Structure 1
Amino acid sequence: MTTDTLRASGSSSGLTELIPTSWIYTDTGSTRDLRLDFMRGFVIPLLFASHFEYFSALMFIGWERIGVVSTAEIFVILSGIVVGMVYGKKVKKDGLSAAMPGLIQRSVSLYRISVVMILIVGAIRYIPWIDSSVITTFHDPYGGNTYQLYPSLDASIFQVISKALLLQIGPHQFQIIGMYVVMFILITPFTFFMLHSGRAKLLLGLSWVIYLINYGMPESSSGSAAIRLTGAQFEYAFPILAWQLIYVHGVAAGYYKQALLAFFMTQWGKAILYASIALSIGFMVFTFNHPLPQFPAWAQLHLVPADVFNQLYNEYFQKYKLGVGRLLNAVVLFISIYALMTRCWQPINKALGWLFIPLGQASLYVFFIHVFLLLAIANTPLPGYDNFWLNTSIHAGLIALVWVLVKKEFLFKWIPH
């Protein structure tokens, strides 16, 4: 899609006429879309806000403040789109069999890095002067329970290795990578087969059927997914039957990217875009009513009573089962941000592209590194929730450190990126 086409697409809107055409993103047709890299990079600070739980300025964005969405939904959608674009181009040109070696290689790489992470953290537990509980346990702030994510220290080494190979243990901050492993191995080849054979509607229909079956299943006694297809640890937070929905649709969106962009130039497409922007704003207003005690009164709205908000949140916005409200929020927010970045790319890129694009292009590396940074911070006498400005400095310093490591390609030879 050319810049001229994009300019023409916005010429009928009074709003877009206020935006200089020189700001528009130039799509060269390459599988490298810097807007997607930027969005993945933007999610990295939100990841730090989620996992380095020191209350800081990042929380005013990261703790579901731009909508009832988390880093996970955005990462999965983006991953699906990139897979659909990169491998889909190969499938269209040379057929599914030609793309399979690349898919298998990526699956092996993701699986290897997951097992390596699990075993490294498992070994760290035996170092007596290191408190590894931040990455070897999970504390449920709502239920008040703490769960051990590894066998006891006196467990057999073979038991640890067995569970590691089955992805049944490991840091919860890294478990989403385990979901990617299963997505690549079990779902991606079938998805491309259906797309390549012209059965996209059937594929998406099956994806919805699986999602709805899972959504209607009663929860387990622990409050997690009733069906854990693989038995892996990540399915407590990211059950495959639910999260396959946004991954499969992401792959399809990447596969049909040019057709989708052309659709959004039509009257129906523009109507969906404007509706997405309106809904995104509505979800943002809604989430500002979240009765989180950490936020000051001036940062909260009180349009929705706390008990009503909690009831709606528990019914429609649960993260582990990908509630329908959260699902809709993630989709409309993605459409809105992508449209904004397309129309205002040049100033956005000039202001923050230097930071977010490198982080986005090395997101797997950042996922790996941040676990050990989290361990390091947890073993220093740094504050918890008692010093806002120092906490903000910690977060900013960690992001700067990761950015430098990425730019210097530190350990890129050994850590996939």
Structure 2
Amino acid sequence: MTTETLRASRSFSELIPSSWAYPDTGATRDLRLDLMRGFVIPLLFASHFEYFSALMFIGWERIGVVSTAEIFVILSGIVVGMVYGKKMKRDGLSAVMPGLIQRSVSLYRISVVMILIVAAIRYLPWIDSTIITTFHDPYGGKTFQLYPPMDASIFQVISKALLLQIGPHQFQIIGMYVSMFILFTPLVFFMISKQKTGLLLGLSWVLYLINLGANPSFRPTNAQFEYAFPILTWQLIYVHGMVAGYYKQELMAFFATDWGKRLVYACIALAVGFMLLTWNHPLDQFPDWAKLHFVPPDTFLYLYNEYFPKSTLGIGRLINAVVLFVAIYALMTRCWQPINKALGWLFIPLGQASLYVFFIHVFLLLAIANTPLPGYDNFWLNTSIHAGLIALVWVLVKKEFLFKWIPH
């Protein structure tokens, strides 16, 4: 970026009133991150309640070739690095471990409870649980059973539940987060405490690159989530998120420098470029006016499959996730007041209770699938369903419904 471009960017940024900026008081909780996590929730609904509505114009990889999973994992890593990192800086690594163990047990318990509740629901004759007990591959045309046969012994079900080898696919990212938290979080903090952060990040990249080249990917936990989110691959963005959260103040100081600002502007430009690229996706569901045609369909699909696969975190998807995060965070930092006023009331409560929402949405999905609603081919009906579900979840969060029993 040239000096003239930087000056022009500065001139443009000066048009934004300083009173709009985020009031960074140094508090551990960062409402910008809460709002971003809350923004994931409608995208989650678009991914799992798979009927076409207005939400799909944002949710189906329309703001970039990224999904809710990448955003959720990055944010989870950053928040863990910030919250537990602050305590480690003050009291040392040993003071952090009891809290990490307690959180690990809580996350693992809620995952096993979810798996067993769904396993029990299968035996209720008046409920069709297919939507959360199977996974249908729309591209391969195959349907996979996610639970043992109904005549399997209870010991087999419990055994697989304890190993996270079964469960609804809509909740499996929580299983990945549980394993990630247990296996990588203590290691990351240990390496940071020994001032081996560079080595830590290098090892993280080695694991990612090894798994990127492996066919099939290594799945050391043998848990169900590894088929969609191989842990040796997805640890990359979690580990880097943790490091970013731990060194948040240092990163913010860097981004305030001239070189840091240049990097932010580059990320914004790349994020816009990726967004325009993904608008060329030849999805049949979108009308022609909602798509671009700069990239021929065959070329786009080649690029997508080669550089943007989700399960293996293709390098294009990885770059897109990072630059999009930086761009959105920078936007919220400079324009926090109007953004918070317009969207904070909705997204911040959802973001602060994201684990609770992940748990509840599975049962909402089951409930909707067992209603006499039409076949979900009406755009406005679908939009109303999505909006109603988000509103319902928001009310449940505000009322703290079952907060005593469900981690949030």
Fold similarity call, TM over 0.5: yes
Aligned partner of residue 144 in structure 2, secondary structure: strand
Per the alignment, do residues 141 and 307 of structure 1 end up closer, same or farther by CA in structure 2, a change over 3 Å counting? same
TM-fit CA distance, 1:302: 1.0
From 201, 226, 250, the counterpart of 1:235: 226
1:301 counterpart letter in structure 2: L
Residues 332-385 of structure 1: per-residue CA shift (max 9 Å, x gap): 000000000000000000011000000000000000000000000000122444
The equivalent residue for 1:223 is: none
The equivalent residue for 1:62 is: 59
Per the alignment, do residues 197 and 306 of structure 1 end up closer, same or farther by CA in structure 2, a change over 3 Å counting? same
From 121, 125, 129, the counterpart of 1:128: 125
Alpha-carbon distance in 2 for matches of 1:239, 1:233: 10
Alpha-carbon distance in 1 for matches of 2:245, 2:40: 19
Contact 1:11/1:17 (CA < 8 Å) preserved in 2?
Answer: no
Residues 125-152 of structure 1: per-residue CA shift (max 9 Å, x gap): 0001100000000011111111000000
The equivalent residue for 2:393 is: 402
Alpha-carbon distance in 2 for matches of 1:361, 1:288: 31
From 50, 72, 88, the counterpart of 1:91: 88
Calculate the aligned-residue CA RMSD, in Å. Answer: 1.2
TM-fit CA distance, 1:10: 11
Aligned partner of residue 225 in structure 2, secondary structure: helix
From 262, 268, 271, the counterpart of 1:277: 268
TM-fit CA distance, 1:267: 1.6
1:113 counterpart letter in structure 2: I
Per the alignment, do residues 120 and 280 of structure 1 end up closer, same or farther by CA in structure 2, a change over 3 Å counting? same
From 356, 360, 380, the counterpart of 1:365: 356
TM-score normalised by L of structure 1 = 0.95
The equivalent residue for 1:222 is: none
Alpha-carbon distance in 2 for matches of 1:105, 1:75: 21
TM-fit CA distance, 1:329: 0.2
Contact 1:291/1:306 (CA < 8 Å) preserved in 2?
Answer: yes
Aligned partner of residue 28 in structure 2, secondary structure: coil
**Where in structure 2 are there 5+ consecutive unaligned residues?**
1-5
2:156 counterpart letter in structure 1: Q
Contact 1:111/1:181 (CA < 8 Å) preserved in 2?
Answer: yes
The equivalent residue for 2:149 is: 152
Per the alignment, do residues 26 and 363 of structure 1 end up closer, same or farther by CA in structure 2, a change over 3 Å counting? same
Residues 90-110 of structure 1: per-residue CA shift (max 9 Å, x gap): 111111110000000000000
The equivalent residue for 1:35 is: 32
Residues 16-64 of structure 1: per-residue CA shift (max 9 Å, x gap): 1000000000111111000000000011000000000110000000000
Residues 267-301 of structure 1: per-residue CA shift (max 9 Å, x gap): 21111111100100110011001111000000011
1:307 counterpart letter in structure 2: D
Contact 1:54/1:383 (CA < 8 Å) preserved in 2?
Answer: no
Q: Which moved more, 1:191-200 or 1:244-253?
A: 191-200
1:194 aligns with 2:185: no
Alpha-carbon distance in 2 for matches of 1:384, 1:81: 40
- Deviating beyond 6 angstroms after TM superposition, the runs of 4 or more aligned structure 1 residues are 9-12
Alpha-carbon distance in 1 for matches of 2:61, 2:389: 21
The alignment-based identity, stated in percent, is 82
TM-score normalised by L of structure 2 = 0.97
1:196 counterpart letter in structure 2: S
Alpha-carbon distance in 2 for matches of 1:184, 1:150: 25
1:352 aligns with 2:349: no
Contact 1:25/1:342 (CA < 8 Å) preserved in 2?
Answer: yes
Per the alignment, do residues 384 and 340 of structure 1 end up closer, same or farther by CA in structure 2, a change over 3 Å counting? farther
Q: Which moved more, 1:263-272 or 1:366-375?
A: 263-272
The equivalent residue for 1:292 is: 283
Q: Which moved more, 1:74-83 or 1:12-21?
A: 12-21
Per the alignment, do residues 384 and 58 of structure 1 end up closer, same or farther by CA in structure 2, a change over 3 Å counting? farther
Per the alignment, do residues 394 and 10 of structure 1 end up closer, same or farther by CA in structure 2, a change over 3 Å counting? farther
From 8, 21, 24, the counterpart of 2:21: 24
1:207 aligns with 2:204: yes
1:93 counterpart letter in structure 2: R
Contact 1:67/1:280 (CA < 8 Å) preserved in 2?
Answer: yes
Q: Which moved more, 1:299-308 or 1:109-118?
A: 299-308
